[in-house]
């Protein structure tokens, strides 16, 4: 039986012909960008509010900071308690054209020892966890130019 | 300038992991504060509870729960919740009642019985809640955010893990002098370095624990204090409860991303700095007037950030201020002479109230071995999840 690939959150990223991209929204009036997406109303208090249009975020950014999770996070993070805990890195990435910082897990195999503040990273498709029916997908940050 | 309210009494239930109900800790702290004020519970016209989230409702709705535990006597009640800033919101609610003439004397209580391990969001499938999402999507616990700030400081400010460890060394030495602290053992830099990494670059002894505890204050109008015979009480001169300004460009828990600065230029002052500035403005005082500060040291690195955000030193000079010994007892501006969260662990709704208890004892020169000589002005600073600023300035 083939399992379905389901995004962990609907509408936050897409993997179409153009490659994997994070999806935010942009205010048509003031051009503020929102991630996670804001679909109701622009949050810029100086903006009267315009239509919010879906927009892909920059593929590349620079490491603002990073850390890791040496201990198993609690629910609702999903882990298999039968398996030993494998730490993973978290990277906060500064996107130049959006002028914002977006947090994400690092791609598997990337550890804090591989990272420095200011390093260029790219967004790639990733798997958060899998169960019998579903592969739950997410976004990962990976040092630019590194092949999985 | 806003009017002042008097602090007639301060009381705490010692922090620890006692395994009992938060109601018991809160009621014990309340009785201690009432005794300290020389007042009976039945003299109190209003009770304000800072809510815990344990027990299903926000702390069974805390204000009335504490009133019931102390014995129903008909007092006006209010209950507030603002995560780590709940205590400051409770103090501010009491102050507003007093200054508007709604109440003469108000009891403020906060208490918590924290679960073991990482804090986690409320249960259920709640994808509309950013706090739930950061756990579900990223597994981003509170310490991972502390780790991000710490690493950023190392890269931008030049702080070292040895600097961070020295914050713990300082605070544990002070906590050892405080009978209300949970951890009363001095810790060495070597012990910090030997503790397990939790969220790189921070180790277990860089990160505050989660604790049980309770704290309470009796606040009154200046007129009531005079009638009561409190000639020169500690006074609360400012309570800052500001929110961030758009675009907020510092990544903060529970957020997955910052605001975008594409359309609006960010103000040069960060949210944390604005919390302190609002308090200084309201008090008509500045950092140069301070005798001491109690800051929210969720991590050792964050304490250094507060030095800068309170204006105790310039941006990027936090570690230098620490290294010079300025923030130790006997230094130019002692910080966290209570021992801080490093020695207490966090009992969320009680913590901001406990900070004001410490200021009260310090300003009365009743802090024993950890007394800051001649203390006249103190500030507390803290920040609650989702953008609740919290700072209190007390004077005597």
Selected residues 55-84 of chain A with any CB under 8 Å from a CB in chain B: 64-71, 73-79
The verdict on a CB contact (< 8 Å) between B141 and A73 is yes
Residues of chain B positioned with their CB less than 8 A from the CB of A78 = 136
Strands A88-95 and A60-69, by their bridges, are antiparallel
Band (pLDDT 50/70/90 cuts) for residue B123 is confident
Would you say residue B80 lies in a domain?
Answer: yes
> Which candidate, B218, B241, B15, places its Cα nearest to that of B112?
B15
Residue spans of beta strands (DSSP E) within chain B: 5-16, 46-50, 76-80, 105-113, 197-199, 202-203, 212-220, 234-240, 292-295, 377-384, 388-395
**How many beta-carbon pairs under 8 angstroms link A with B?**
148
Q: What is the CATH number of the domain that holds B30?
A: 3.40.47.10
Neighbours of B273 (CB within 10 A): 18
Q: Which of B138, B154, B207, B252 to mutate to test the interface with A (most CBs of A within 10 A)?
A: B138
CA distance B375 to A64: 40
Average model confidence (pLDDT) for chain A?
A: 94
- As a whole number of Å, the end-to-end CA separation of chain B is 17
Would you say residue B39 lies in a domain?
Answer: yes
For residue A92, give both structure tokens.
């906060």
- CB-closest option in B148, B156, B247 to A92: B148
**Chain B nearest CA to A82, separation (Å):** 18
Same domain, B170 and B225: no
Q: Is the Cβ of A34 closer than 8 Å to some Cβ of chain B?
A: yes
Would you say residue B207 lies in a domain?
Answer: no
Domain boundaries of chain A, sorted by first residue: 4-143
DSSP-based three-state secondary structure for B276: helix
The verdict on a CB contact (< 8 Å) between A97 and B261 is no
The verdict on a CB contact (< 8 Å) between A70 and B198 is yes
Strands A100-106 and A88-95, by their bridges, are antiparallel
Q: What is the pLDDT of residues B153-204, one digit of tens each?
A: 999 999 999 999 999 999 999 999 999 999 999 999 999 999 999 999 999 9
Would you say residue B304 lies in a domain?
Answer: yes
Same domain, B88 and B228: yes
Same domain, B374 and B240: yes
Helix pair angle (B22-37, B62-70), 10° resolution: 70
> Which candidate, A53, A124, A92, places its Cα nearest to that of B148?
A92
Coarse DSSP helix, strand, coil percentages of chain B, rounded to the nearest 5 percent = 40, 20, 40
Residues of chain A positioned with their CB less than 8 A from the CB of B133 = 9, 36
Same domain, B152 and B197: yes
Q: Name the residue in chain A with its Cα closest to that of B134.
A: A77
For residue A63, give both structure tokens.
């490491």
Same domain, B268 and B145: yes
Neighbours of A4 (CB within 10 A): 8
CA distance B240 to B381: 9
> Which candidate, A140, A118, A116, places its Cα nearest to that of A59?
A140
Residues of chain B positioned with their CB less than 8 A from the CB of A47 = 263
For residue A56, give both structure tokens.
């892909």
Would you say residue B124 lies in a domain?
Answer: no
DSSP-based three-state secondary structure for B6: strand
- What is the CA angle B62-B64-B66, rounded to 5? 70
Q: Which of A8, A70, A104 to mutate to test the interface with B (most CBs of B within 10 A)?
A: A70
DSSP A3: P
**Chain A nearest CA to B382, separation (Å):** 23
**Chain A nearest CA to B195, separation (Å):** 13
Confidence at residue B55, expressed as pLDDT on a 0 to 100 scale: 66
Number of structural domains, chain B? 2
Same domain, B307 and B230: no
Band (pLDDT 50/70/90 cuts) for residue B125 is confident
Q: What are phi and psi of B112, to 5 degrees?
A: -150, 150
Q: Is the Cβ of A17 closer than 8 Å to some Cβ of chain B?
A: no
Confidence at residue A1, expressed as pLDDT on a 0 to 100 scale: 59
Q: What is the pLDDT of residues B239-270, one digit of tens each?
A: 999 999 999 999 998 999 999 999 999 999 99
Same domain, B243 and B228: no
DSSP-based three-state secondary structure for A91: strand
- CB-closest option in B132, B144, B264 to A69: B144
- CB-closest option in A9, A101, A102 to B127: A9
Same domain, B363 and B228: no
pLDDT exceeds cutoff 60 at B124: yes
Same domain, B39 and B178: no
Contacts of B213 (CB under 8 A, 6+ apart): B12, B13, B14, B15, B16, B25, B111, B112, B180, B182, B344, B345, B347, B350, B354
Element at B271 (helix H, strand E): helix B271-283
Q: Is the Cβ of A147 closer than 8 Å to some Cβ of chain B?
A: no
Does the ipTM exceed 0.90? yes
Q: What is the pLDDT of residues B286-331, one digit of tens each?
A: 999 999 999 999 999 999 999 999 999 999 999 999 999 999 999 9
Angstrom CA distances, A79 to A3, A48, A140, B108, stand at: 18, 44, 17, 41
**Chain B nearest CA to A147, separation (Å):** 22
Q: What are phi and psi of B263, to 5 degrees?
A: -100, -25
* Cβ–Cβ under 8 Å, residues B100 and B336: no
Q: What is the pLDDT of residues A61-118, one digit of tens each?
A: 999 999 999 999 999 999 999 999 999 999 999 999 999 999 999 999 999 999 999 9
For residue B381, give both structure tokens.
């600073």
* Cβ–Cβ under 8 Å, residues B336 and B344: no
Residues of chain A positioned with their CB less than 8 A from the CB of B299 = none
CA distance B247 to B264: 7
Same domain, B312 and B163: yes
Same domain, B135 and B77: no
Percent of chain A with pLDDT over 70: 97
Element at A105 (helix H, strand E): strand A100-106
DSSP-based three-state secondary structure for B151: helix
**Chain A nearest CA to B381, separation (Å):** 24
In degrees to the nearest 10, what's the CA dihedral of A135, A137, A141, A146?
50
Same domain, B167 and B216: no
State mean pLDDT over A126-145: 95
**Chain B nearest CA to A20, separation (Å):** 17
Percent of chain B with pLDDT over 70: 98
Element at A63 (helix H, strand E): strand A60-69
User: How far from the centroid of its chain's Cα atoms is residue B106's Cα?
Assistant: 20
Angstrom CA distances, B381 to A66, A123, B239, B294, stand at: 26, 37, 10, 6
Contacts of B1 (CB under 8 A, 6+ apart): B237, B282, B283, B284
Confidence at residue A147, expressed as pLDDT on a 0 to 100 scale: 59
Q: Which domain holds residue B97?
A: 5-117+212-234
For residue B134, give both structure tokens.
């950061």
């Amino acid at each position: 039986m083939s399992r379905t690939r389901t995004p962990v959150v609907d509408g936050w990223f897409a993997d179409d012909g153009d490659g994997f991209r994070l999806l935010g929204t942009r205010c048509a009036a003031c051009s503020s960008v929102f991630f996670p997406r804001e679909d109701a109303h622009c949050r810029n208090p100086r903006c009267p509010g315009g239509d919010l249009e879906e927009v892909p975020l920059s593929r590349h950014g620079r490491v603002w900071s990073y850390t890791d999770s040496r201990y198993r996070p609690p629910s609702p993070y999903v882990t298999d308690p039968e398996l030993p805990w494998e730490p993973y890195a978290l990277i906060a990435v500064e996107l130049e054209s959006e002028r914002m910082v977006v947090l994400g897990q690092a791609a598997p195999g990337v550890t804090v020892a591989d990272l420095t503040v200011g390093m260029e990273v790219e967004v790639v498709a990733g798997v958060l966890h899998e169960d019998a029916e579903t592969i739950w997908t997410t976004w990962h940050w990976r040092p630019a130019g590194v092949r999985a | 300038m806003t009017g002042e309210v008097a602090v007639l009494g301060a009381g705490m239930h010692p922090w620890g992991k006692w395994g009992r109900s938060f109601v018991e800790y809160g009621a014990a702290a309340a009785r201690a504060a009432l005794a300290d004020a020389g007042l009976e519970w039945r003299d109190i016209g209003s009770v304000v509870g800072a809510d815990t989230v344990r027990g299903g409702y926000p702390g069974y709705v805390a204000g009335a729960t504490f009133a019931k535990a102390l014995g129903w006597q008909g007092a006006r009640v209010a209950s507030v919740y603002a995560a780590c800033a709940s205590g400051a919101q409770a103090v501010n609610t009491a102050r507003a009642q007093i200054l508007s003439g709604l109440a003469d004397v108000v009891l403020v209580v906060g208490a918590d019985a924290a679960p073991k391990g990482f804090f986690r969001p409320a249960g259920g499938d709640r994808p509309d809640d950013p706090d739930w999402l950061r756990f579900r999507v990223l597994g981003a616990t509170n310490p991972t955010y502390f780790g991000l700030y710490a690493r950023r400081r190392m890269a931008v400010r030049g702080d070292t893990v040895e600097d961070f460890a020295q914050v713990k060394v300082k605070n544990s030495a002070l906590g050892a002098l405080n009978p209300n602290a949970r951890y009363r053992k001095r810790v060495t830099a070597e012990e910090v370095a030997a503790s397990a990494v939790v969220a790189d670059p921070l180790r277990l002894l860089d990160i505050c624990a989660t604790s049980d505890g309770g704290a309470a204050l009796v606040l009154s109008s200046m007129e009531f204090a005079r009638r009561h015979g409190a000639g020169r009480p500690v006074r609360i001169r400012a309570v800052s409860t500001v929110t961030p300004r758009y675009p907020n460009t510092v990544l903060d828990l529970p957020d997955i991303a910052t605001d975008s600065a594409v359309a609006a230029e960010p103000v040069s002052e960060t949210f944390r700095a604005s919390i302190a500035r609002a308090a200084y403005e309201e008090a008509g005082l500045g950092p140069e007037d301070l005798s001491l500060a109690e800051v929210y040291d969720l991590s050792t690195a964050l304490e250094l950030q507060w030095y800068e955000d309170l204006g105790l030193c310039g941006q990027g000079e936090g570690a230098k201020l620490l290294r010079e010994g300025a923030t130790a007892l006997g230094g130019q501006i002692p910080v966290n002479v209570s021992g801080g969260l490093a020695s207490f662990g966090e009992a969320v709704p009680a913590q901001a109230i406990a900070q004001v208890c410490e200021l009260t004892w310090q300003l009365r020169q009743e802090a024993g071995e950890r007394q800051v000589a001649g203390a006249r002005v103190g500030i507390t600073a803290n920040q609650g999840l989702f953008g609740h600023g919290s700072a209190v300035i007390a004077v005597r």
